[in-house]
Amino acid sequence: MARTGRRPGTTQTREEILRAAREQFADLGYDGATIRGIARAAGVDPALVHHYFGAKQRVFIAAMRLPFNPADEVRAIMADREHDHAESILRFFLRMWDDPQSRDPMLALVRSATSHDKAAEAVRGFMNDLVVHHISKELGLPPLRAAMIGSQLFGIVLLRYVVGVEVVRSADTEEIVAMYAPAIRAVIEDGDPARPTA
């Protein structure tokens, strides 16, 4: 009475791949790690890694247990014409970071990236790949401009969740959205003045 169509051993194989991926990212950085190398370290065919996870970016997300793929979320938000994009990005981001279950793996990654050079190398490559090749395309903005939105979001991460500055830590989500969305909108809209605002 299997609940899914997965064959026995599938979960174990996936975990083997993710364990190998974590090692490869830690040892070689994001840019140095390859699907081929991860597959070799896990003792599986590269096609299987691709079948389970997709591109390297998605392998990294699964390996680090990140709760979502930022590029997928930004795509969904930009496709929604009924809500203000800046507010939606901010509200989604705060929801993910306010919930301890989704926050913990992200916080672990940020902490390790700020204190260990090897971890920084992996996060640096992952974020650059994500911004330059994915987020900027979803937003229709140049890479640096897309990164400036990421900068605004990770500033909140630093003050609210990492350092925990009281006035930011205790602020109501909607209070932050009301104050900060115009700032995010300023970066989005200056890059494309023709974009509708809501």
The residue assigned the tokens 């590029």 is: 71
Site for its own copies in 79-118 (CB under 8 A): 110-111, 113-115
Euclidean distance between CA atoms 101 and 49, whole angstroms: 26
Q: Which window, 4-12, 17-25, 63-71, 172-180, contacts its own copies (CB under 8 A)?
A: 172-180
Q: How far apart are CA 184 and CA 191, in angstroms?
A: 11
Q: Contact between 163 and its own copies (CB under 8 A)?
A: yes
| Residue 24 Cβ vs its own copies, minimum distance, rounded to whole Å | 19
**Binds its own copies by CB under 8 A, chosen from 45, 155, 192, 198:** 155
Whole-number minimum distance, CB 142 to its own copies, in Å? Answer: 9
| Cα-Cα-Cα-Cα dihedral sign, residues 173, 174, 180, 181 | positive
Q: What are phi and psi of 193, to 5 degrees?
A: -60, -15
Alpha helices in 64-197 (DSSP H): 70-79, 85-98, 100-115, 117-130, 136-139, 143-156, 166-169, 173-190
> Nearer Cβ to its own copies, position 140 or 150?
150
Shortest CB 93 distance to its own copies, Å: 12
**Which stretches of the chain bind its own copies, using CB under 8 A?**
110-111, 113-115, 120, 123-124, 127-128, 131-132, 143-145, 147-148, 150-160, 162-168, 171, 175-176, 179-180, 182-187, 190-191
